[in-house]
């Protein structure tokens, strides 16, 4: 279930945002009326998937909050600001991946942006999982290669002999090559 934080001093924007987030499947939504309150929510709660910030806020403008959240989380961020400054702010925060919407924001525009954020998070989650899988395979290969090097050093095996030995041990003992490699490293190191 998606988690969202809405930061707005304007109750109309908060209610609209909450309603649209619910429609898009965000079940848990926290609402903050100031930047300080939002910072506490981000630090104390589980990481949000979406953050909507309606500027200006009572204690600061809100751009700094958006940049802090972009730096410390992987949340999708929507920053709503006045139409006269939206292009300038968009230029400043675009490298952080913050989406800037100019006020007045239509219901359709906000909903489309929320959908886009959620869809991109799904894609990023897939890429993150794939990256994690690749990193674990690389680590497994490193461990196996260390075990081969250990066999070559202590038992004077050639690289093909060490490879064949690990493969044969894995097959005979019904273990993975990684388990055999870990056992070899524990025995010789």
Separation of CA 141 from chain center: 26
Q: Are residues 22 and 87 in the same domain?
A: yes
Count structural domains, the chain.
2
Tell me the pTM.
0.72
User: Mind giving me the DSSP string for 2-26?
Assistant: EEEEEE-S-HHHHHHHHHHHHHTTE
The pLDDT profile of the chain, 189 residues, written as one tens digit per residue, is: 578 999 999 999 999 999 999 888 887 889 999 999 999 988 876 788 899 999 999 999 999 999 999 999 888 999 999 989 999 999 999 899 899 999 999 999 999 999 999 888 888 888 888 999 999 999 999 999 999 999 999 999 999 999 999 999 999 999 999 999 999 999 987
Q: Are residues 88 and 24 in the same domain?
A: yes
> Residue 47 in contact with residue 71, Cβ under 8 Å?
no
Separation of CA 3 from chain center: 13
Residue 144: inside a domain, yes or no? yes
Residue 138: which domain range?
A: 134-188
Q: Are residues 89 and 169 in the same domain?
A: no
Q: Are residues 96 and 139 in the same domain?
A: no
Q: Are residues 146 and 57 in the same domain?
A: no
The last residue of a domain, from among 86, 105, 124: 105
> Residue 6 in contact with residue 73, Cβ under 8 Å?
no
> Residue 58 in contact with residue 33, Cβ under 8 Å?
yes
Q: Are residues 98 and 61 in the same domain?
A: yes
Residue 121: inside a domain, yes or no? no
Q: Which two tokens stand for residue 14?
A: 């908060």
Q: Are residues 140 and 183 in the same domain?
A: yes
Residue 15 in 3-state DSSP? helix
Q: In whole angstroms, what is the distance from residue 28 CA to residue 36 CA?
A: 20
The domain spanning residue 157 has which CATH number?
1.10.10.10
Q: Which two tokens stand for residue 73?
A: 């989380």
Residue 128: inside a domain, yes or no? no
Q: Are residues 99 and 140 in the same domain?
A: no
Q: Which two tokens stand for residue 146?
A: 């260390």
């Amino acid at each position: 279930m998606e988690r969202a934080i809405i930061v707005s001093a304007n109750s109309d924007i908060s209610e609209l945002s909450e309603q649209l987030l619910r429609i898009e499947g965000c079940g848990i939504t926290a609402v903050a009326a100031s930047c300080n309150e939002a910072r506490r929510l981000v630090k104390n709660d589980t990481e949000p998937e979406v953050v909507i910030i309606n500027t200006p806020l009572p204690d600061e403008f809100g751009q700094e909050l958006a940049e802090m959240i972009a730096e410390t989380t992987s949340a999708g961020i929507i920053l709503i600001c006045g139409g006269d400054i939206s292009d300038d702010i968009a230029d400043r925060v675009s490298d952080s991946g913050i989406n800037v919407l100019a006020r007045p924001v239509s219901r359709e525009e906000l909903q489309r942006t929320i959908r886009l954020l959620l869809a991109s998070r799904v894609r990023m989650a897939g890429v993150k999982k794939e990256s994690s899988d690749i990193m674990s395979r690389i680590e497994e290969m490193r461990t196996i290669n260390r075990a081969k090097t250990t066999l070559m050093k202590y038992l004077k095996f050639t690289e093909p002999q060490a490879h064949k030995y690990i493969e044969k041990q894995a097959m005979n003992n019904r273990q993975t090559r990684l388990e055999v490699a870990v056992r070899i490293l524990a025995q010789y190191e």
